[in-house]
């Protein structure tokens, strides 16, 4: 009887480890590897791009970002692009933002700025500012970024615009952190990269479910057809991820992954900045439509289970001297780690993040879902009004 029970436990461990390994392998090879695969197609000249460079508008919302605007705006205004305008909406800034914009307008005739009314209340200022910017834009294509970003090159707009085909209505780009020192920066950089593997990977697979306002574009007519942000005006955020979730589909969305089309995010100064951003995301992501939300949740769940069964299998092999069981489980973990390291680092190289993940990868791999769970619990126990328009 003991031998039978022993064999049953052994089979159960190996079966569970094998099934979870296959599930994880499918996610990495089918979804997360899409960025590298897409880049390879582009390099081989097998991707179709538009040669025409239609005029476009760049819209930026700024609030107390005078120093950032001094650095960012010249990088955008001096893009190698035939015809474009840049519209900055001053969201009730109390610093020198207005003076900076006025001085830059004297040098750059294609720079314009507006402002949100001081009387605007009970509405998301970010959504109001973007709405004003979109309405003020002269051109059909509107490109978005944020003040804490810097274009990787002066080809940013050209590379985004090559995706403006007749059927395309949305273009998603990449935004990530360059290599910086410090534990927090490493954690944030990995979290941002992994999020990009997910939403860009699904978009390249033909199932887009969100976008990030640091680097994306869509047609002005799409915005008005959707009645702007009217479907989620009760939320403080959601102007990028929820909006794209509602309007994006396989036939109207394209992805630009060229390293020169990426936006480099400036290093965060305080942990609170990242925490607030993650809390805002948890408040909107629960409203995502489509199966992707559940598929990603299943990936996270299967990942944690795989780690649990790996530890259990190795411990079982050591305690009961079942070296074959422990060795097989360890081998499966090493195979997954090898696949993961190859996929993640190829994508990081493709996107130009500068950082590579090897020794730190297993740590971030299980820490990332735990951090996400922490933010979800934090959101649940916070006042809901914190995530409402104000």
Residue 6 has pLDDT above 80, yes or no: no
Q: Which residues, at least 6 apart from 109, have a Cβ–Cβ distance to it below 8 Å?
A: none
- Report percent pLDDT > 70 for the chain: 94
Average pLDDT value for residue range 332-351:
97
Planar angle of CA 148, 206, 333, nearest 5 degrees: 80
Tokens of 292: 């992707």
Higher pLDDT, 133 or 2: 133
Q: What is the pTM of this model?
A: 0.93
Answer yes or no: is pLDDT of 4 > 50: no
Higher pLDDT, 186 or 198: 198
> What would the pLDDT profile of 204-226 be if each residue is shown by its tens digit?
999 999 999 999 999 999 999 99
Which residue, 126, 145, 171, 132, is CA-closest to 76? 145
C-alpha distance from residue 118 to each of 121, 125, 305 (Å):
8, 10, 51
Q: Where are the domains of the chain?
A: 2-33+293-379, 47-289
Question: Mean of the pLDDT values across residues 280-289?
Answer: 88
Per-residue pLDDT reduced to its tens digit, 72-107: 999 999 999 999 999 999 998 889 999 999 999 999
Q: For position 260, what pLDDT does the model report?
A: 97
Q: How confident is the model at residue 63 (pLDDT cuts 50, 70, 90)?
A: very high
Query: According to CATH, what is the number of the domain 47-289?
Result: 3.90.550.10
Beta carbons of 304 and 366 less than 8 angstroms apart: yes
């Amino acid at each position: 009887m003991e031998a039978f029970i022993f064999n049953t436990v052994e089979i159960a461990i190996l079966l569970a480890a094998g099934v979870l390994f296959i599930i994880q392998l499918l996610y990495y090879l089918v979804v997360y590897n899409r960025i590298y695969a897409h880049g390879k197609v582009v390099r081989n000249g097998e991707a179709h791009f538009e040669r025409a460079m239609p005029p476009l508008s760049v819209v930026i919302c700024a609030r107390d970002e005078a120093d950032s605007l001094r650095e960012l705006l010249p990088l955008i205004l001096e893009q190698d692009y035939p015809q474009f305008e840049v519209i900055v909406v001053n969201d009730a800034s109390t610093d020198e933002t207005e003076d900076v914009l006025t001085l830059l307008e004297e040098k750059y005739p294609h720079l314009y700025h507006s402002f949100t009314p001081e009387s605007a209340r009970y509405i998301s200022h970010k959504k109001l500012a973007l709405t004003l910017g979109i309405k003020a834009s002269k051109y059909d294509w509107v490109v978005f970024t944020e003040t804490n970003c810097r274009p990787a090159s002066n080809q940013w707009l050209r590379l985004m615009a090559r995706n403006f085909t007749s059927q395309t209505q949305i273009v998603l780009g990449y935004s990530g952190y360059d290599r910086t020192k410090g534990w927090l920066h490493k954690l944030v950089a990995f979290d941002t990269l992994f999020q990009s593997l997910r939403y860009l990977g699904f978009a390249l697979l033909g199932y887009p479910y969100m976008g990030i306002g640091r680097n994306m574009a869509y047609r002005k007519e799409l915005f008005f057809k959707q009645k702007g942000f009217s479907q989620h005006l009760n939320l403080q955020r959601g102007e990028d991820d929820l909006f794209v979730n509602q309007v994006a589909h396989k036939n109207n969305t394209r992805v630009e992954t060229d390293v020169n089309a990426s936006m480099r995010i400036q290093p965060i100064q305080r942990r609170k900045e990242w925490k607030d951003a993650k809390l805002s995301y948890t408040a909107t992501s629960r409203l995502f439509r489509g199966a992707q939300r559940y598929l990603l949740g299943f990936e996270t769940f299967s990942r944690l289970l795989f780690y649990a069964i790996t530890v259990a299998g190795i411990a079982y092999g050591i305690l009961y001297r079942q070296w074959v069981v422990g060795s097989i489980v360890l081998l499966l973990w090493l195979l997954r780690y090898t696949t993961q390291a190859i996929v993640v680092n190829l994508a990081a190289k493709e996107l130009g993040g500068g950082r590579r993940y090897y020794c730190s990868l297993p740590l971030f791999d299980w820490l990332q879902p735990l951090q996400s769970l922490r933010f979800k619990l934090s959101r649940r126990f916070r006042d809901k009004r914190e995530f409402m328009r104000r």
